Structure 1
Amino acid sequence: MKVGLIGYGKAGSAVAQVLSEDPRYDLQWIATRSGNPTAVTLGEQTIPVTALTQEHLSDWLDQHPVDALVDFSNAASAAIYSDEVQRRGLTVVTAISSYDDSQLDRMRELGKYAKVLCSPNITVGINFLIMAARLLREIAPFADVEILEQHFRDKPEVSGTAKKIAESLDVGGEKITSMRLGGIVGHHEVIFGFPYQTVRLIHDSIKREAFGTGAAFALNELRNCPQGFYTFDDLLMKRVRAQILAGHTS
């Protein structure tokens, strides 16, 4: 599968490294706001870099066609590439946490024309945590719930993943506690307070390459999906249902 990567910050560069090493994917190019540097060396590969502009993108895709876009840039990028995704039916995996409602509606609309996965945190582990937390919340709706998120010092906003956890558990934002500390990539913890016991579900991102393995997982799962808008939960539940069915038939 030929892939174009949008965004080459701290997360994007880690994702590029993972995708370039995965034999299932062929990382064709990287797009950034400025188009600099003009190329990136990953192992023995030299990956061209282009500027992400609406005027330039159509010609670039004609000359450098891909099957999928992986977006680790910012919420504004979707407006630049969405028309081309719709026209070409490109698969999209986006890990942007700051879409507003109108931007998110546009991504859902793209699901009519392409395979689109949208997840504010694209690590396999955190999405498994969310799935497990939802199950526990359903089993014990009476339990107290608190969410703790810790990130690197310069992250300004409340974690989009923490907001998603709160939404999935039907609790308000006041249940989220945020901490900013040097050296932390990402820590999310869901604490359930029961009478006489406590349950803690914890996920730590040790290196940003975890985002790359999550993106690679999503791309592979979407191969066998019809056109539509997906969350990471959808892909995991597809796997869970397959395992349950396999258990019933074995």
Structure 2
Amino acid sequence: MHKIVIMGAGRMGSLIRRLAEAARDEAGEPVFEVVAQIGFDLTELEGAPAADALIDFSNVATFEAVAAYVRRCGCALVSGTTGYSEAQMAELRALGEGAPVLWSGNYSLGVAALRHLVAQATRELPAFDVEIVETHHNQKADAPSGTAKMLLDEVVGAHEAAGDGVYAPVYGRSGMCGARDAREVGVHALRGGTVAGVHEVHFFGPSEELTLTHRAESREIFVHGALAATQKLIGRDPGFYTFDQIMFG
């Protein structure tokens, strides 16, 4: 049985705990034991028992406490927290020198497939204009979403690999912004209601449009992916891993 600590006691943290405690292996035995769940009092993490993995889908305010726990215990870290600064991402990668660390802006298998398809479409439609639109519930704190940034990376990376020049994001448009630059990628964030997450990547060409869409009906898809990744990450050598490396490598 894998011992885990859950960072966050809100909606996502509570869902992670519920599904982790319900998980069973082929023999019907529990897969996880939750040894601690940390809410607003981050000092509780200082005294939390050592675990095999820490699962963090909270927010950027918990970063230092999470990093300190991983350094102390050397446990695996499965992080789905978005909105980190470049400095925090650099520190997150550095944690991989002493522990197996996985960070992803999205833990859905469907989104993983979407990323692959976006890269393929970019390669095959190099002259098409690309626009990314993401929609989330009205309580989401960061914009654009981590998933939208990952999709943007696929577009920019595919163009760079093909030698198409430098492509840059444009986050929303307003005023007299002029004609669209051929090497810009529009990124737009919509917020409202209780939407779990919708991501659309539009490819606009002469007289035709291709749209790739992923629609999340429940946050459970992210938790199932994170728990599956946790099982695969535990016991790995120290390193900073991607979701693809852990799930498909």
Same fold by TM-score, threshold 0.5 exceeded? yes
Q: Does 1:160 align with 2:137?
A: no
Alignment of 1:156-235 (within 5 A): 156-158=141-143, 159-170=145-156, 171-174=168-171, 175-195=186-206, 197-223=208-234, 225-235=236-246
Q: Which amino acid aligns with 2:196?
A: V
Q: TM-score, normalised by structure 1?
A: 0.79
Identity percentage over the alignment? Answer: 31
> Does the Cα contact within 8 Å between 1:131 and 1:233 map onto a contact in 2?
no
Q: TM-score, normalised by structure 2?
A: 0.79
Q: Does 1:12 align with 2:13?
A: yes
Take 1:19 and 1:100, find their aligned partners in 2: how far apart are those partners? 29
> Does the Cα contact within 8 Å between 2:51 and 2:73 map onto a contact in 1?
no
Q: Give the direction of change, closer, same or farther, for the CA distance of 1:226–1:17 in structure 2 (3 Å limit).
A: same
> Counting helix residues as a fraction of each chain, which structure ranks higher?
1
Q: Give the direction of change, closer, same or farther, for the CA distance of 1:173–1:20 in structure 2 (3 Å limit).
A: farther
Take 1:13 and 1:87, find their aligned partners in 2: how far apart are those partners? 25
> Does the Cα contact within 8 Å between 1:15 and 1:211 map onto a contact in 2?
no
- The CA deviation at 1:147 is 0.8
In structure 2, the residue matched to 1:248 is none
- The CA deviation at 1:59 is 3.0
Q: Give the direction of change, closer, same or farther, for the CA distance of 1:76–1:180 in structure 2 (3 Å limit).
A: closer
- The CA deviation at 1:104 is 0.7
Gaps of 5+ in 2: 25-30, 157-167, 172-185
- The CA deviation at 1:226 is 2.4
In structure 1, the residue matched to 2:57 is 72
Q: Which amino acid aligns with 1:52?
A: L
For residues 156-196 of structure 1, give each alpha carbon's deviation from its aligned partner in whole angstroms, at most 9, with x where no partner exists.
43222212211331151431122222131111111222445
Take 1:124 and 1:173, find their aligned partners in 2: how far apart are those partners? 27
> Does the Cα contact within 8 Å between 1:151 and 1:179 map onto a contact in 2?
yes
Take 2:17 and 2:76, find their aligned partners in 1: how far apart are those partners? 17
In structure 2, the residue matched to 1:149 is 134
Other structure's SS at 2:48 match: helix
Take 1:237 and 1:139, find their aligned partners in 2: how far apart are those partners? 23
Other structure's SS at 2:139 match: coil
> Does the Cα contact within 8 Å between 1:16 and 1:212 map onto a contact in 2?
no
> Does the Cα contact within 8 Å between 2:82 and 2:142 map onto a contact in 1?
no
Q: Give the direction of change, closer, same or farther, for the CA distance of 1:163–1:173 in structure 2 (3 Å limit).
A: farther
Runs of 4+ deviating beyond 6 Å: none
Alignment of 1:93-132 (within 5 A): 93-132=78-117
Indicate the RMSD between aligned Cα atoms, in angstroms.
2.0
How many residues in Structure 1 have an aligned counterpart in Structure 2? 216
Which has the higher mean CA deviation after the structures are superposed, 16-25 or 80-89?
A: 80-89
- The CA deviation at 1:216 is 0.9
Take 2:206 and 2:92, find their aligned partners in 1: how far apart are those partners? 42
